Chains A and B, each alone.
Chain A
Amino acid sequence: MDFGFTDDQCEIQRTARDLLAERATPARVREHAEARTTDAALWRELSELGWPGIAVSERYGGQGLGQIELSILCEEMGRSLAPVPFLPSAMAASAIEQAGSAEQRERWLPGLASGETVGALAAAVDSTAELVIGGAEAQVIVLIEPDGGGRVVAAEDAEVTPLEAIDPTRSAARVSASGEQGELPGEVCVGLGRALISVSSELVGVCDRALTMTVEYVKDRKQFGVPVGSYQAVSHRCAQMLLDTEKARATAAFAAWTADADPERLAEAAAMAKAASSDAGREVTAAAIQMHGGIGFTWEADVHWLFKRAQLDAALLGGAGRHRAQLASILADKLGASAAA
């Protein structure tokens, strides 16, 4: 038993963190957020490095690595808030690879792996998704229905209405597809499970960054002649932020591992990760604003970008409550199965 990363995984993490620290600086993120633009140059660079295809199999031009490696990159995307459609594209690729027909895979995966095609994935009802992250710039969109079915549609065949989501670091749109074509014939739940893990991992990165920023701030900010972080009302809230973050991190890491090594437990592990990380994302970034005091409520401080990203990610594919309901039904099924045995 070992929770640590392999040397190769550590290397991926280090490279990603260093590169994004340099390219997606707070100033750069702010520039794109205020202009509501994608950082096209960064997306090109990441594409050249093969990041969008990290978990796409080699036959479709990807690197053929696993969910753990993809999750490492998602976490760094959350930490840096890089204004690129990495998460939506990766989620779409997971679903198409896991549940798509041979034809759908051949049509979409090479482009998603190379970054030439941008994808998105969202929950929909009757082929309409009210809020699709990355939807305004995606060429291919995966829609997952409440009954577990899914379809993949080309943006040109759908009605795409751009929206201004509260998180301006990524585009958003309402997407509505007509007709019936593009149904995913395979195991949509596996693709969905992987998508849930990717967004959970991004939330871990958001939480980690919010905590780091907050700790730095409360060490530095003085009131009544002492750093505010020396007050237990403040320091204990920071400790709570760490606990929430570590819970999210542990469940997301476990889920990423099951995706590659123990698929039987994927649905349960993914629901746990999304429940824990959605709660953590909201709590930790809200606490970050509070612990920054008045400055935390200003447009000038960068902490609100984290809160906004967390809000979008926490709601993406269902919030904590929906995934706890899912878990409760898994627990009830287990109980039924053991009673029957």
Chain B
Amino acid sequence: MDLTFSEQETAFRDELREWLSANKPGDAPSEGGEDAQYAWRREWQHRLYDAGWAAPAWPTEYGGRGASLTESAIYFEELGSARVPLPANVLGLLLGGPTLMVWGSDEQKERYLSPILSAEEIWCQGFSEPDAGSDLASLKTKAVKDGDEWVVTGQKVWTSGAQYSKWCMLVARTDGEAAKHKGLTYFLMDMEQDAVQVRPLRQITGEAEFNELFIEEARIPDENVVGGVGNGWKVALTTLMNERAGLGFALQIRLRQLLDDVIAVAAERGLLENPLYADALAELHVRCESIRLLAWKGLTDVERYGQPGPEGSLVKWLWSDTNQRLTQLAADIVGADALTVGESFSYELLRARGNTIEGGTTEVLKNIVAERVLGLPRLKVAA
């Protein structure tokens, strides 16, 4: 057991920290709404790209730094600590690129990876559907072969960044006869066609991070199949497994910062003297530290044994629950600012409600823990 960083890891952190302090993107644009914000994040990714910091975890042959898992975690911790935004094309960098590296053909890697890195082409994820959320494999969007093209019809939901995207990682049913996990295929769909309509999905915060996609006979060339026809479930799992890997470290740092902010307000108002607040804040501190430790433990398990332990699901579960408790406690401690539109505390209070739903609901995570970690029998449900 050694909870210190190696010289190489420390050097990596120092170099990045120095670069970040000299190259911070400044404040987000206050005018121009979400489009202006997105353009600002895209510009930010381009600056990261120019300095070789857009995706350090990517192998050097694809333009990354071949960073280890630990270094990659350090990268997200540092982005969080510096309070800079995540790169605009985060789904391409974290999900799309790594999925192509595993399943893509040489031509696909050649064609797609570099524009992901430079934010020239933005990616989005077309997995969930109105009737296929936690039960993703029951999705209904259909792709039918027509010559060397596929014709796709269906509806997708929770597609963040769709309005800015060039490519969509789309999972569609190509064989209606096959068993539910087996009839799926993974495509790269060009978003720039009239057959794909993007409609913003306004969420409880008032903003629209996500979209609905209405797909009416969209065309996808056969060469845009990833990992082979009928293999879509396996390819999608690769994408989903990448979903939590690095991002968790950035989220954990944001939670820490928010807790520190709330503790500072509590101290300012003399509320740390109140044993009820002191107890609640200390409990959040324990949870925050547990999240950090479990995240690092999960990562070192992967480095040591080559496969993630149960920590992945536990960390996401604990993080989402803790962020909700923290933002709720903040309403008591900071008062009006937590209940006034336009304030960061009120935004966090509302946004946190999504945490226990997105990226695997807490209920599904508990099922995963019960079945795959504890080996409990699965409840028989109607097929």
Taking Cβ atoms with an 8 Å cutoff, the residues of A that contact B are 1-6, 9, 68, 211, 215, 218-219, 226-227, 229-232, 235-236, 238-240, 242-243, 246-247, 250-251, 253-254, 256-257, 261-262, 272, 275-276, 321, 324-325, 327-329, 331-332, 335
Contact = CB atoms under 8 A, between A and B. Distances in A.
Interface stretch (B155-163, B326-334, B362-370): B362-370
Interface in B277-308: 278-279, 281-283, 285-287, 289-290, 293-294, 296-297, 299-301, 303-304
Contacts of A329: 278
A229 B289 CA distance: 31
Given A230-B376, A230-B377, A235-B379, 15 more contacts: A1-B5, A1-B299, A215-B375, A231-B379, A239-B370, A242-B373, A250-B293, A250-B297, A254-B3, A254-B293, A256-B1, A257-B1, A272-B289, A324-B286, A329-B278
A241 to B, nearest CB: 9
Interface string B50-68: 0000000000000000000
Contacts of A272: 285-286, 289
A3 B9 CA distance: 16
Nearest to B280: A324
B111 interface: no
Nearest to A232: B379
A256 B267 CA distance: 30
Interface of B: 1-6, 9, 70, 263-264, 267, 272, 275, 278-279, 281-283, 285-287, 289-290, 293-294, 296-297, 299-301, 303-304, 310-311, 314, 317-318, 363, 365-367, 369-371, 373-380
A276 B378 CA distance: 30
A251 B293 contact: yes
A2 B281 CA distance: 29
Contacts of B377: 219, 226-227, 229-230
Which 3 pairs from chain A and chain B are nearest by CB? A328-B278, A324-B282, A235-B370
A236 B370 contact: yes
Contacts of B365: 239
A261 B3 contact: yes
B370 to A, nearest CB: 4
A3 B4 CA distance: 10
Contact of A328 (B282, B287, B294, B380): B282
A4 B275 CA distance: 37
A227 to B, nearest CB: 5
Nearest to A240: B366
Nearest to B369: A239
A251 B291 CA distance: 10
Contacts of B272: 328, 331-332
B311 to A, nearest CB: 7
B3 A3 contact: yes
A246 B296 contact: no
A238 B297 contact: no
B120 to A, nearest CB: 35
6 contacts: A2-B1, A2-B2, A251-B293, A276-B290, A324-B282, A328-B272
Nearest to B267: A335
B47 to A, nearest CB: 29
Contact of B1 (A9, A219, A275): A9
Given A1-B70, A227-B377, A231-B379, A331 B282 contact: yes
A246 B309 CA distance: 11
Given A3-B3, A325-B282, A331 B294 contact: no
A231 B267 CA distance: 45
A239 B374 contact: yes
Contacts of B317: 243
Contacts of A236: 363, 366-367, 370
Contacts of A261: 2-4
A235 B279 contact: no
A3 B289 contact: no
Nearest to A276: B286
